[in-house]
Amino acid sequence: MSTTMNDIAVHPEKVHDEHREGSIAGDMEKANPVDKNAKHSDLGAAWLAEYTGPRTEITDEENEAVRKRIDAFLLPIIFIVYFTQQLDKSSLSFASVFGLKTDAHLVGQQYSWLSSLVYFAQLVFQPLSVYALVKLPVNVWICFCFFGWGASLCIMSAFTNFAGLAVFRFILGAFEASISPSMLVVVSMWWTRREQPLRNNIWYSANGTATIIGSLLSYGLGHAKSSLHPYQLIFLVCGLIAVALSIPCYFFFPAHPTKARWLSDHRKYVALERIRLNNTGTQSTTFKWSQVRECLIDPKTWFCVVNVFCISLVSGGITTFGPLILQGFGLSQFQTILYNMIPGAIGIASNILSAVAVTYTKRKMPVLLVTSAFPLAAAAALYTLPRGTEHKSQLLGVYFILQVYQCISPLFFSWQFANTAGHTKKTTTTGMLFVGLSVGNIVGPQLYKSSEAPYYKTGLTGNLIVLCIMFGLIICQGLYLAMLNRRNVKRRIAKGKSGAQVDLSLENSSRWAELRAKQRAEQAAGGHVEDEGFNDQAFMDLTDLQNEDFIYSL
């Protein structure tokens, strides 16, 4: 029996019944999932089936202790991995200030193509990334790619022509294709939905950190006495940093909460019970084509893919041509590098502040609308303002406001991942999001034509158009998710459960005991059983559309 997009939107319970995988019995939703060690279920379910310790509701104290330990051990690792990726990817824009075009004999749009080739590679290799993130331990795949892109950048430093640089920019992009998707998978299996936006924005703020440190590093390397061209030295040093860091990363990066050597068995149990609240599971090693199909026909996937494309078109152009745009304001080489550090700081600040806003409002749509207004207004102003040293202050102010765009992508990632369950569906979703990201980053630099310097009218016009589209789609996505929540309430009532549920994954753990007690009192008053099994299906590797207990985050 086939399933259409209309079936999913109107009858999600049909998807629930139709797409259950072989060894998950039809009545499994009424059973205790920890007793199931099915081939097709979550790795967390398999571990819980063998766990012999106490099974109690986790307390605020236990949750806080485990969360702090995860933050301390894991967050620095994923930050370093992403920082190094961004440093290596951005080395091209740093090198452009120190004569890359002249020393490598680049002409016409060849510089733009060197930027776009990374994203062509990411586009081509996304299917492999999706499959690898299901079949392989996440840490092994990440560290393999980590070493690979560092080695590629080192080799790239040997070339002084477009052909050689282009080949290894493509190879570098192939290794980098999995990193951002992997970070999203890692965050979803370790942190609650309340905690995810801040953690995602922290590792994504490594982008800004790479801009700051990379600018300083490039300035120093650009003036070093060497037989190599400045751009070769920049590529070589940045690549060696990645190669060196990839080795210890392999030994300290756990594959799964149940594999963390720095957690006791009881704390592993707490780590899994924290994630149960998300109803998104951790990881399954069974690749499920039914979940791929559902992802492809799920409207909310496409809302987010188009939104990520839009903001990536803006990002791709500004990241590649940012230093050259600054030079067009009448800045010297040193001033360009110095001022290029400020967008990095703005990126860090906007990432943290927007994530804190999401955490405390428990709403992503309003925060996305507010943050989107900044680059939209700035792009309009930058389009109209004249250039030249006499307008430098106004131009710099507007350019820095534009940099708030850096916090938007991770908010989209957090929003989509908070609303997607089923491991294959999650990895397919990341692949699709990064197809949108790759295409946006391919198109973005091509809109900035060297012949239009210093105004870059085509690029700024493109920015204005996609930012307006994105603003409208954010509202549409929020309305669609609200509709899905109303339908899940009806599905729960139809199965004899209470319709309204409190989503503890979005609440501070200090309120869990109070909210649980209130929920049970309401269930008893409504004639429902005291424990109706809410979240029991969290580790069955069901998708969000299959699980009537799923609550969509707005």
Half-sphere exposure of 473 (CA within 13 A, CB side): 20
Nearest to 379 by CA among 441, 477, 433, 310: 310
b/e 133-145 (16+ beta carbons within 10 angstroms → b): bbeebbbebbbeb
Q: Residues 125, 128, 132, CA angle at the centre, nearest 5°?
A: 140
> Which distant-in-sequence residues (6+ apart) come within 8 Å of 293 by Cβ?
3
Q: Residues 495, 497, 500, CA angle at the centre, nearest 5°?
A: 125
Quote the pLDDT of residue 6: 44
Nearest to 257 by CA among 277, 282, 279, 276: 282
In tens digits, the chain (554 residues) has pLDDT values of 344 444 444 444 444 444 433 333 333 333 334 444 444 578 888 899 999 999 888 999 999 999 999 999 999 999 999 999 989 888 888 888 788 888 888 888 888 788 888 888 988 898 898 899 889 999 999 999 999 999 999 999 999 999 999 999 999 999 988 888 899 999 999 999 999 999 999 999 998 898 888 888 888 887 888 888 888 999 999 999 999 999 999 999 999 999 999 999 999 999 999 999 998 888 888 899 999 999 999 999 999 999 999 999 998 788 767 766 777 777 776 777 777 788 889 989 999 999 999 999 999 999 999 999 999 999 899 888 887 778 788 888 888 999 999 999 999 999 998 999 999 999 999 889 988 988 998 888 888 887 887 788 898 899 999 999 999 999 999 999 999 999 999 998 888 777 777 888 999 999 988 888 888 777 777 666 555 566 778 888 899 999 998 999 99
Is residue 399 a contact partner of residue 327, using CB atoms and an 8 Å limit?
A: no
**DSSP per position, 209-278:** HHHHHHHHHHHHHHTS--SS-HHHHHHHHHHHHHHHHHHHHHHH--SSGGG-TTS-HHHHHHHHHHHHTT
From residue 208, alpha-carbon distances to 201, 214, 235, 422 in Å are 11, 10, 19, 32
Helix H segments across 403-507?
A: 408-418, 423-447, 457-494
Is residue 232 a contact partner of residue 218, using CB atoms and an 8 Å limit?
A: no
pTM of this prediction?
A: 0.83
- Coil, strand or helix: which one is 366? helix
Q: Residues 277, 435, 294, CA angle at the centre, nearest 5°?
A: 50
> Which distant-in-sequence residues (6+ apart) come within 8 Å of 113 by Cβ?
162, 166
Nearest to 198 by CA among 358, 368, 331: 358
Domain positions in the chain: 60-484
Q: How many residues belong to the chain?
A: 554
Where does residue 155 fall: left (phi above 0), alpha (psi -120 to 50 degrees), or beta otherwise?
alpha
b/e 28-40 (16+ beta carbons within 10 angstroms → b): bbeeebbebebeb
Using CA atoms, how far apart are residues 77 and 246, in angstroms rounded to an integer?
A: 10
The first and second tokens of residue 221, run together, are 């390397």
State which fold the 60-484 domain adopts: Growth Hormone; Chain: A; (1.20.1250)
Using CA atoms, how far apart are residues 9 and 262, in angstroms rounded to an integer?
A: 43
Using CA atoms, how far apart are residues 82 and 211, in angstroms rounded to an integer?
A: 12
Using CA atoms, how far apart are residues 163 and 176, in angstroms rounded to an integer?
A: 20
Q: Name the burial class of residue 41, with classes exposed (0-12), middle (13-18) and buried (19+) by CB atoms within 10 angstroms of its CB.
A: buried
> Which distant-in-sequence residues (6+ apart) come within 8 Å of 524 by Cβ?
530
Residue pointed to by tokens 């309204």: 500
Using CA atoms, how far apart are residues 483 and 477, in angstroms rounded to an integer?
A: 10
Using CA atoms, how far apart are residues 394 and 507, in angstroms rounded to an integer?
A: 42
From residue 134, alpha-carbon distances to 213, 422, 547 in Å are 34, 11, 21
Using CA atoms, how far apart are residues 83 and 85, in angstroms rounded to an integer?
A: 5
Using CA atoms, how far apart are residues 100 and 97, in angstroms rounded to an integer?
A: 7
Quote the pLDDT of residue 281: 85
Using CA atoms, how far apart are residues 454 and 457, in angstroms rounded to an integer?
A: 9
Q: Name the burial class of residue 383, with classes exposed (0-12), middle (13-18) and buried (19+) by CB atoms within 10 angstroms of its CB.
A: middle
Using CA atoms, how far apart are residues 258 and 38, in angstroms rounded to an integer?
A: 17
b/e 206-245 (16+ beta carbons within 10 angstroms → b): bbbbbbbbbbebbbebbeeeeebbbbbbbbbbbbebbbeb
Quote the pLDDT of residue 30: 37
**DSSP per position, 67-81:** HHHHHHHHHHHHHHH
Is residue 162 a contact partner of residue 248, using CB atoms and an 8 Å limit?
A: no
